[in-house]
Amino acid sequence: MPSPYRALFAAPGTKGFTAAGLLGRMPLSMMGIGVVTMISQLTGRYGLAGALSATIALAAAVAGPQVSRLVDRHGQRRVLRPATLISLVAGALLLFAARYGWPDWVLFVACVGIGCVPSVGAMVRARWAALYRGTPQLHTAYSFESVIDEVCFIFGPIISIGLSTAWFPEAGPLLAGCFLAVGVFWLTAQRATEPAPHPREKQGGGSALKAPALQVLVATFVATGAIFGSVDVVTVAFADEQGHKGAASVVLALYAAGSCGAGLVFGLMRFKGAPEPRWLLGICAMAVSMIPLLLVGNLPFLAVALFVSGMAVAPTMITTMSLIEEHVPRAQLTEGMTWVSTGLAVGVALGSSAAGWVIDAAGADAGYGVPAVSGAVAVVVGFLGYRRLSRPAPRRGGTVEQHSERQERHVA
Protein backbone atom coordinates (compact mmCIF):
# COMPACT_ATOMS: atom_id res chain seq x y z
CA MET A 1 0.00 0.00 0.00
CA PRO A 2 1.51 3.41 -0.97
CA SER A 3 2.59 5.53 1.97
CA PRO A 4 -0.25 8.14 1.76
CA TYR A 5 -2.77 5.33 2.22
CA ARG A 6 -0.73 3.73 4.97
CA ALA A 7 -0.58 7.08 6.78
CA LEU A 8 -4.39 7.23 6.88
CA PHE A 9 -4.46 4.40 9.38
CA ALA A 10 -2.08 6.01 11.84
CA ALA A 11 -5.09 7.49 13.65
CA PRO A 12 -6.57 5.14 16.27
CA GLY A 13 -9.76 3.36 15.26
CA THR A 14 -9.43 3.88 11.51
CA LYS A 15 -8.73 0.24 10.71
CA GLY A 16 -11.74 -0.87 12.72
CA PHE A 17 -14.33 1.40 11.15
CA THR A 18 -12.89 0.76 7.67
CA ALA A 19 -13.27 -3.01 8.07
CA ALA A 20 -16.79 -2.62 9.48
CA GLY A 21 -17.69 -0.25 6.65
CA LEU A 22 -16.49 -2.75 4.05
CA LEU A 23 -18.79 -5.44 5.43
CA GLY A 24 -21.68 -3.05 5.95
CA ARG A 25 -21.74 -1.79 2.37
CA MET A 26 -21.43 -5.17 0.66
CA PRO A 27 -25.25 -5.50 0.54
CA LEU A 28 -25.32 -2.43 -1.71
CA SER A 29 -23.98 -4.56 -4.56
CA MET A 30 -25.42 -7.91 -3.42
CA MET A 31 -29.05 -7.40 -2.46
CA GLY A 32 -30.60 -6.17 -5.71
CA ILE A 33 -28.97 -8.75 -7.96
CA GLY A 34 -29.47 -11.38 -5.25
CA VAL A 35 -33.22 -10.74 -5.21
CA VAL A 36 -33.36 -10.95 -9.01
CA THR A 37 -31.51 -14.27 -8.96
CA MET A 38 -33.59 -15.67 -6.09
CA ILE A 39 -37.00 -14.72 -7.51
CA SER A 40 -36.14 -15.84 -11.03
CA GLN A 41 -35.01 -19.22 -9.72
CA LEU A 42 -38.00 -19.75 -7.44
CA THR A 43 -40.71 -18.43 -9.74
CA GLY A 44 -39.24 -17.98 -13.21
CA ARG A 45 -40.80 -14.50 -13.29
CA TYR A 46 -38.11 -12.08 -14.42
CA GLY A 47 -40.58 -9.19 -14.57
CA LEU A 48 -41.44 -9.63 -10.90
CA ALA A 49 -37.76 -10.02 -10.03
CA GLY A 50 -36.86 -6.74 -11.74
CA ALA A 51 -39.79 -4.90 -10.16
CA LEU A 52 -38.78 -6.05 -6.67
CA SER A 53 -35.17 -4.99 -7.22
CA ALA A 54 -36.32 -1.57 -8.43
CA THR A 55 -38.60 -1.27 -5.37
CA ILE A 56 -35.64 -1.81 -3.07
CA ALA A 57 -33.60 0.83 -4.91
CA LEU A 58 -36.38 3.42 -4.90
CA ALA A 59 -37.28 2.75 -1.26
CA ALA A 60 -33.64 3.25 -0.31
CA ALA A 61 -33.61 6.46 -2.33
CA VAL A 62 -36.53 7.78 -0.28
CA ALA A 63 -35.54 6.47 3.15
CA GLY A 64 -31.77 6.85 2.95
CA PRO A 65 -31.55 10.65 3.27
CA GLN A 66 -34.09 10.63 6.10
CA VAL A 67 -32.05 8.05 8.03
CA SER A 68 -28.89 10.10 7.46
CA ARG A 69 -30.61 13.30 8.62
CA LEU A 70 -31.50 11.56 11.87
CA VAL A 71 -27.89 10.38 12.14
CA ASP A 72 -26.64 13.95 11.87
CA ARG A 73 -28.99 14.98 14.68
CA HIS A 74 -28.78 12.01 17.03
CA GLY A 75 -25.60 10.10 16.19
CA GLN A 76 -24.82 6.93 14.26
CA ARG A 77 -25.37 4.41 17.06
CA ARG A 78 -28.83 5.63 18.08
CA VAL A 79 -30.19 5.66 14.52
CA LEU A 80 -28.33 3.01 12.55
CA ARG A 81 -29.14 0.06 14.78
CA PRO A 82 -32.96 0.49 14.73
CA ALA A 83 -32.92 1.25 10.98
CA THR A 84 -30.82 -1.85 10.33
CA LEU A 85 -33.15 -4.02 12.39
CA ILE A 86 -36.11 -2.84 10.30
CA SER A 87 -34.23 -3.70 7.12
CA LEU A 88 -33.19 -7.12 8.44
CA VAL A 89 -36.72 -8.04 9.56
CA ALA A 90 -38.05 -6.98 6.16
CA GLY A 91 -35.33 -9.07 4.49
CA ALA A 92 -36.34 -12.12 6.50
CA LEU A 93 -39.97 -11.54 5.49
CA LEU A 94 -38.93 -11.43 1.83
CA LEU A 95 -37.05 -14.72 2.07
CA PHE A 96 -39.96 -16.52 3.73
CA ALA A 97 -42.51 -15.01 1.36
CA ALA A 98 -40.48 -16.04 -1.68
CA ARG A 99 -39.79 -19.56 -0.38
CA TYR A 100 -43.39 -20.34 0.54
CA GLY A 101 -45.11 -18.59 -2.35
CA TRP A 102 -46.88 -15.84 -0.41
CA PRO A 103 -48.81 -13.16 -2.36
CA ASP A 104 -46.81 -10.72 -4.45
CA TRP A 105 -47.89 -7.72 -2.38
CA VAL A 106 -46.08 -9.20 0.62
CA LEU A 107 -42.89 -9.30 -1.44
CA PHE A 108 -43.26 -5.64 -2.34
CA VAL A 109 -43.96 -4.61 1.26
CA ALA A 110 -40.85 -6.48 2.35
CA CYS A 111 -38.76 -4.73 -0.31
CA VAL A 112 -39.98 -1.33 0.90
CA GLY A 113 -38.81 -2.25 4.40
CA ILE A 114 -35.43 -3.36 3.09
CA GLY A 115 -35.06 0.17 1.72
CA CYS A 116 -34.50 1.43 5.28
CA VAL A 117 -30.93 0.14 4.99
CA PRO A 118 -28.52 2.94 6.02
CA SER A 119 -25.90 4.38 3.69
CA VAL A 120 -22.88 2.82 5.36
CA GLY A 121 -20.49 4.45 2.90
CA ALA A 122 -21.70 7.91 3.96
CA MET A 123 -21.27 6.96 7.62
CA VAL A 124 -17.66 5.93 7.09
CA ARG A 125 -16.87 9.03 5.02
CA ALA A 126 -18.33 11.18 7.80
CA ARG A 127 -15.87 9.56 10.22
CA TRP A 128 -12.96 10.33 7.90
CA ALA A 129 -14.17 13.93 7.61
CA ALA A 130 -14.32 14.28 11.39
CA LEU A 131 -10.74 13.01 11.64
CA TYR A 132 -9.05 14.79 8.74
CA ARG A 133 -11.18 17.84 7.90
CA GLY A 134 -9.04 20.56 6.34
CA THR A 135 -6.01 18.33 5.72
CA PRO A 136 -4.59 16.60 2.61
CA GLN A 137 -5.40 13.25 4.20
CA LEU A 138 -9.12 13.81 3.60
CA HIS A 139 -8.63 13.68 -0.17
CA THR A 140 -6.73 10.41 0.23
CA ALA A 141 -9.42 9.04 2.54
CA TYR A 142 -12.20 9.81 0.05
CA SER A 143 -10.12 8.16 -2.68
CA PHE A 144 -9.68 5.07 -0.55
CA GLU A 145 -13.42 4.90 0.10
CA SER A 146 -14.18 5.07 -3.61
CA VAL A 147 -11.80 2.17 -4.15
CA ILE A 148 -13.62 0.20 -1.43
CA ASP A 149 -16.92 0.94 -3.20
CA GLU A 150 -15.54 -0.48 -6.42
CA VAL A 151 -14.17 -3.57 -4.66
CA CYS A 152 -17.69 -4.22 -3.34
CA PHE A 153 -19.14 -3.91 -6.84
CA ILE A 154 -16.49 -6.21 -8.29
CA PHE A 155 -16.98 -9.06 -5.84
CA GLY A 156 -20.49 -8.51 -4.42
CA PRO A 157 -22.54 -9.59 -7.47
CA ILE A 158 -20.23 -12.53 -8.15
CA ILE A 159 -20.64 -13.78 -4.57
CA SER A 160 -24.40 -13.20 -4.51
CA ILE A 161 -25.13 -14.84 -7.86
CA GLY A 162 -22.69 -17.67 -7.23
CA LEU A 163 -24.18 -18.61 -3.86
CA SER A 164 -27.78 -18.41 -5.07
CA THR A 165 -27.11 -20.60 -8.08
CA ALA A 166 -24.70 -23.10 -6.51
CA TRP A 167 -26.20 -23.47 -3.02
CA PHE A 168 -29.85 -22.41 -2.64
CA PRO A 169 -31.82 -19.47 -4.12
CA GLU A 170 -32.01 -17.44 -0.91
CA ALA A 171 -28.28 -17.71 -0.17
CA GLY A 172 -27.24 -14.44 -1.84
CA PRO A 173 -29.74 -12.14 -0.08
CA LEU A 174 -29.23 -14.04 3.17
CA LEU A 175 -25.48 -13.43 3.14
CA ALA A 176 -26.09 -9.79 2.24
CA GLY A 177 -28.24 -9.45 5.38
CA CYS A 178 -25.52 -11.06 7.48
CA PHE A 179 -22.94 -8.64 6.13
CA LEU A 180 -25.25 -5.72 6.92
CA ALA A 181 -25.89 -6.84 10.48
CA VAL A 182 -22.24 -7.51 11.32
CA GLY A 183 -20.98 -4.37 9.58
CA VAL A 184 -23.44 -1.91 11.11
CA PHE A 185 -23.35 -3.27 14.66
CA TRP A 186 -19.55 -3.46 14.55
CA LEU A 187 -19.34 0.09 13.20
CA THR A 188 -21.70 1.55 15.78
CA ALA A 189 -19.83 -0.20 18.58
CA GLN A 190 -16.82 2.00 17.77
CA ARG A 191 -17.81 5.13 19.67
CA ALA A 192 -14.40 6.85 19.74
CA THR A 193 -14.48 7.72 16.02
CA GLU A 194 -18.20 8.46 15.78
CA PRO A 195 -18.84 12.05 14.63
CA ALA A 196 -20.51 14.24 17.22
CA PRO A 197 -24.24 14.74 16.55
CA HIS A 198 -25.78 18.19 16.19
CA PRO A 199 -29.15 17.87 17.95
CA ARG A 200 -29.69 21.56 18.68
CA GLU A 201 -28.75 22.97 15.31
CA LYS A 202 -31.48 23.96 12.88
CA GLN A 203 -29.41 22.47 10.08
CA GLY A 204 -29.85 25.25 7.58
CA GLY A 205 -33.61 25.51 8.06
CA GLY A 206 -34.43 22.07 6.73
CA SER A 207 -33.00 19.47 4.41
CA ALA A 208 -29.41 19.58 3.19
CA LEU A 209 -30.89 19.41 -0.32
CA LYS A 210 -31.73 23.12 -0.02
CA ALA A 211 -28.06 23.84 -0.74
CA PRO A 212 -27.93 24.94 -4.43
CA ALA A 213 -24.64 23.14 -5.05
CA LEU A 214 -26.00 19.87 -3.68
CA GLN A 215 -29.03 20.16 -5.97
CA VAL A 216 -26.67 20.33 -8.96
CA LEU A 217 -24.65 17.35 -7.77
CA VAL A 218 -27.72 15.21 -7.12
CA ALA A 219 -29.36 16.10 -10.45
CA THR A 220 -26.14 15.30 -12.30
CA PHE A 221 -25.77 12.00 -10.53
CA VAL A 222 -29.29 10.93 -11.46
CA ALA A 223 -28.03 10.99 -15.04
CA THR A 224 -24.77 9.35 -13.98
CA GLY A 225 -26.70 6.59 -12.22
CA ALA A 226 -28.62 6.02 -15.44
CA ILE A 227 -25.26 5.35 -17.11
CA PHE A 228 -24.41 2.68 -14.54
CA GLY A 229 -27.83 1.03 -14.55
CA SER A 230 -28.11 0.89 -18.33
CA VAL A 231 -24.54 -0.34 -18.84
CA ASP A 232 -25.21 -3.28 -16.51
CA VAL A 233 -28.42 -4.36 -18.24
CA VAL A 234 -27.19 -3.84 -21.81
CA THR A 235 -23.91 -5.65 -21.13
CA VAL A 236 -25.77 -8.73 -19.89
CA ALA A 237 -28.01 -8.65 -22.96
CA PHE A 238 -25.08 -8.09 -25.31
CA ALA A 239 -23.15 -11.01 -23.82
CA ASP A 240 -26.27 -13.18 -24.15
CA GLU A 241 -26.61 -12.25 -27.83
CA GLN A 242 -22.96 -13.19 -28.30
CA GLY A 243 -23.64 -16.59 -26.75
CA HIS A 244 -21.54 -15.97 -23.63
CA LYS A 245 -23.96 -14.64 -21.02
CA GLY A 246 -21.74 -15.78 -18.15
CA ALA A 247 -18.95 -13.50 -19.41
CA ALA A 248 -21.04 -10.44 -18.55
CA SER A 249 -19.97 -10.59 -14.91
CA VAL A 250 -16.29 -10.56 -15.94
CA VAL A 251 -16.80 -7.65 -18.32
CA LEU A 252 -18.65 -5.63 -15.69
CA ALA A 253 -15.96 -6.49 -13.14
CA LEU A 254 -13.41 -4.92 -15.50
CA TYR A 255 -15.57 -1.78 -15.59
CA ALA A 256 -15.31 -1.57 -11.81
CA ALA A 257 -11.62 -2.50 -11.91
CA GLY A 258 -10.86 0.47 -14.16
CA SER A 259 -12.53 2.76 -11.67
CA CYS A 260 -10.73 1.08 -8.77
CA GLY A 261 -7.29 1.55 -10.31
CA ALA A 262 -7.96 5.16 -11.26
CA GLY A 263 -9.19 5.88 -7.73
CA LEU A 264 -5.99 4.54 -6.20
CA VAL A 265 -3.83 6.72 -8.45
CA PHE A 266 -6.07 9.77 -7.98
CA GLY A 267 -5.71 9.49 -4.22
CA LEU A 268 -1.93 9.85 -4.50
CA MET A 269 -2.21 13.13 -6.41
CA ARG A 270 -2.34 16.60 -4.90
CA PHE A 271 -4.20 19.38 -6.70
CA LYS A 272 -4.14 23.15 -6.46
CA GLY A 273 -7.09 25.35 -7.18
CA ALA A 274 -10.81 24.79 -6.86
CA PRO A 275 -12.21 21.28 -7.45
CA GLU A 276 -15.22 22.41 -9.52
CA PRO A 277 -13.40 22.37 -12.91
CA ARG A 278 -12.04 18.90 -12.20
CA TRP A 279 -15.54 17.71 -11.34
CA LEU A 280 -16.95 19.03 -14.61
CA LEU A 281 -14.05 17.50 -16.53
CA GLY A 282 -14.80 14.15 -14.87
CA ILE A 283 -18.46 14.32 -15.89
CA CYS A 284 -17.44 15.10 -19.47
CA ALA A 285 -14.94 12.23 -19.48
CA MET A 286 -17.61 9.79 -18.28
CA ALA A 287 -19.94 10.94 -21.07
CA VAL A 288 -17.34 10.78 -23.83
CA SER A 289 -16.25 7.30 -22.71
CA MET A 290 -19.75 6.00 -23.50
CA ILE A 291 -19.41 6.78 -27.22
CA PRO A 292 -17.11 3.82 -28.08
CA LEU A 293 -19.72 1.47 -26.63
CA LEU A 294 -21.95 2.34 -29.60
CA LEU A 295 -19.36 0.71 -31.85
CA VAL A 296 -18.81 -2.53 -29.96
CA GLY A 297 -18.81 -5.65 -32.09
CA ASN A 298 -17.53 -8.30 -29.71
CA LEU A 299 -16.95 -8.99 -26.03
CA PRO A 300 -13.16 -8.40 -25.96
CA PHE A 301 -13.59 -4.91 -27.42
CA LEU A 302 -16.43 -4.23 -25.00
CA ALA A 303 -14.27 -5.31 -22.06
CA VAL A 304 -11.47 -2.93 -23.06
CA ALA A 305 -13.90 -0.06 -23.68
CA LEU A 306 -15.58 -0.50 -20.31
CA PHE A 307 -12.26 -0.76 -18.48
CA VAL A 308 -11.15 2.56 -19.99
CA SER A 309 -14.50 4.24 -19.32
CA GLY A 310 -14.40 3.06 -15.72
CA MET A 311 -11.27 5.13 -15.16
CA ALA A 312 -13.37 8.30 -15.09
CA VAL A 313 -15.76 7.07 -12.41
CA ALA A 314 -13.83 7.03 -9.14
CA PRO A 315 -12.02 10.38 -9.64
CA THR A 316 -15.37 12.04 -10.33
CA MET A 317 -16.94 10.48 -7.24
CA ILE A 318 -13.99 11.52 -5.07
CA THR A 319 -14.22 15.12 -6.25
CA THR A 320 -17.98 15.05 -5.66
CA MET A 321 -17.50 14.10 -2.02
CA SER A 322 -15.04 16.96 -1.61
CA LEU A 323 -17.60 19.37 -3.07
CA ILE A 324 -20.26 18.12 -0.67
CA GLU A 325 -17.91 18.59 2.26
CA GLU A 326 -17.33 22.16 1.08
CA HIS A 327 -20.87 23.27 0.26
CA VAL A 328 -23.04 21.41 2.81
CA PRO A 329 -23.15 22.58 6.45
CA ARG A 330 -21.10 20.38 8.72
CA ALA A 331 -24.19 19.46 10.75
CA GLN A 332 -25.74 17.93 7.60
CA LEU A 333 -22.70 16.26 6.07
CA THR A 334 -23.95 12.65 6.32
CA GLU A 335 -27.31 13.60 4.83
CA GLY A 336 -25.61 15.48 1.99
CA MET A 337 -23.46 12.48 1.06
CA THR A 338 -26.51 10.24 1.16
CA TRP A 339 -28.43 12.50 -1.22
CA VAL A 340 -25.81 11.85 -3.89
CA SER A 341 -26.21 8.11 -3.34
CA THR A 342 -29.96 8.65 -3.63
CA GLY A 343 -29.52 10.39 -6.96
CA LEU A 344 -27.42 7.49 -8.18
CA ALA A 345 -30.02 4.95 -7.02
CA VAL A 346 -32.84 6.75 -8.82
CA GLY A 347 -30.70 7.00 -11.93
CA VAL A 348 -29.83 3.30 -11.82
CA ALA A 349 -33.53 2.40 -11.67
CA LEU A 350 -34.37 4.74 -14.56
CA GLY A 351 -31.41 3.63 -16.65
CA SER A 352 -32.14 -0.06 -16.12
CA SER A 353 -35.78 0.37 -17.14
CA ALA A 354 -34.96 2.47 -20.21
CA ALA A 355 -32.25 0.05 -21.32
CA GLY A 356 -34.59 -2.92 -20.99
CA TRP A 357 -37.21 -1.18 -23.12
CA VAL A 358 -34.69 -0.31 -25.85
CA ILE A 359 -33.23 -3.84 -25.86
CA ASP A 360 -36.68 -5.39 -26.26
CA ALA A 361 -37.47 -2.99 -29.10
CA ALA A 362 -34.18 -2.83 -31.01
CA GLY A 363 -31.61 -5.22 -29.53
CA ALA A 364 -28.56 -4.93 -27.30
CA ASP A 365 -26.45 -2.95 -29.79
CA ALA A 366 -29.01 -0.16 -29.74
CA GLY A 367 -29.19 -0.41 -25.95
CA TYR A 368 -25.82 1.29 -25.59
CA GLY A 369 -27.49 4.44 -26.81
CA VAL A 370 -29.07 4.77 -23.36
CA PRO A 371 -25.79 5.32 -21.45
CA ALA A 372 -24.59 7.61 -24.25
CA VAL A 373 -27.70 9.78 -23.95
CA SER A 374 -27.50 9.66 -20.14
CA GLY A 375 -23.91 10.89 -20.30
CA ALA A 376 -24.94 13.77 -22.54
CA VAL A 377 -27.68 14.72 -20.08
CA ALA A 378 -25.17 14.66 -17.22
CA VAL A 379 -22.89 17.05 -19.13
CA VAL A 380 -25.75 19.44 -19.88
CA VAL A 381 -26.89 19.48 -16.25
CA GLY A 382 -23.30 19.95 -15.09
CA PHE A 383 -22.74 22.96 -17.34
CA LEU A 384 -26.11 24.52 -16.50
CA GLY A 385 -25.46 24.17 -12.77
CA TYR A 386 -21.77 25.05 -12.79
CA ARG A 387 -22.36 28.63 -11.61
CA ARG A 388 -24.12 27.30 -8.52
CA LEU A 389 -21.13 25.10 -7.75
CA SER A 390 -18.74 28.01 -8.22
CA ARG A 391 -20.53 30.30 -5.77
CA PRO A 392 -18.83 30.78 -2.40
CA ALA A 393 -19.99 28.16 0.08
CA PRO A 394 -21.93 29.35 3.14
CA ARG A 395 -19.47 27.50 5.36
CA ARG A 396 -15.77 26.96 4.82
CA GLY A 397 -13.24 24.45 6.02
CA GLY A 398 -14.27 21.79 3.55
CA THR A 399 -12.27 20.54 0.67
CA VAL A 400 -8.62 19.84 0.89
CA GLU A 401 -7.86 21.84 -2.23
CA GLN A 402 -9.54 25.06 -1.11
CA HIS A 403 -8.17 24.74 2.39
CA SER A 404 -4.64 24.48 1.04
CA GLU A 405 -5.21 27.34 -1.38
CA ARG A 406 -6.39 29.63 1.41
CA GLN A 407 -3.34 28.72 3.46
CA GLU A 408 -1.07 29.60 0.53
CA ARG A 409 -2.76 32.98 0.05
CA HIS A 410 -2.43 33.66 3.77
CA VAL A 411 1.26 32.87 3.73
CA ALA A 412 1.77 35.02 0.64
How confident is the model at residue 235, as a pLDDT?
83
- Tens-digit pLDDT profile for residues 93-137: 999 999 998 999 999 999 999 988 888 988 998 899 888 888 888
How confident is the model at residue 106, as a pLDDT?
94
- Tens-digit pLDDT profile for residues 342-368: 888 788 778 877 887 888 788 888 889
Domain boundaries of the chain, sorted by first residue: 1-191, 207-412
pTM, whole model, 2 decimals?
0.75
Fold of 1-191: Growth Hormone; Chain: A; (1.20.1250)
Which of 217, 242, 254 lies closest to 378, judged by CA? 217
Architecture of domain 207-412: Up-down Bundle (1.20)
Q: How confident is the model at residue 405 (pLDDT cuts 50, 70, 90)?
A: very low
How confident is the model at residue 19, as a pLDDT?
94
Task: Provide mean pLDDT across the span 380-398.
Answer: 71
Alpha carbons 128 and 193: distance in angstroms, whole number: 9
- Is the confidence at residue 17, as pLDDT, over 90? yes
Task: Provide mean pLDDT across the span 381-409.
Answer: 56
Task: Tally the C-alpha atoms within 13 A of residue 3's C-alpha that lie toward its C-beta.
Answer: 0
Buried b (16+ CB within 10 A) or exposed e, 125-139: bbbbbebbbbebbbb
- Tens-digit pLDDT profile for residues 222-255: 999 889 888 877 887 788 788 876 677 788 888 8
How confident is the model at residue 81, as a pLDDT?
94
Q: How confident is the model at residue 46 (pLDDT cuts 50, 70, 90)?
A: low
Q: Label residue 281 exposed, middle or buried (CB < 10 Å: 0-12, 13-18, 19+).
A: middle
Q: How confident is the model at residue 41 (pLDDT cuts 50, 70, 90)?
A: confident
Alpha carbons 147 and 289: distance in angstroms, whole number: 20
How confident is the model at residue 409, as a pLDDT?
29
The DSSP symbol for 11 reads: S
On the question of a common fold for 1-191 and 207-412, the answer reads yes
How confident is the model at residue 408, as a pLDDT?
31
pLDDT over 90 percentage in the chain:
28
- Is the confidence at residue 276, as pLDDT, over 70? yes
- Tens-digit pLDDT profile for residues 128-178: 988 888 888 888 888 888 888 878 877 887 788 778 878 888 998 999 999
- 134 three-class SS: coil
From residue 148, alpha-carbon distances to 3, 14, 141 in Å are 17, 14, 11
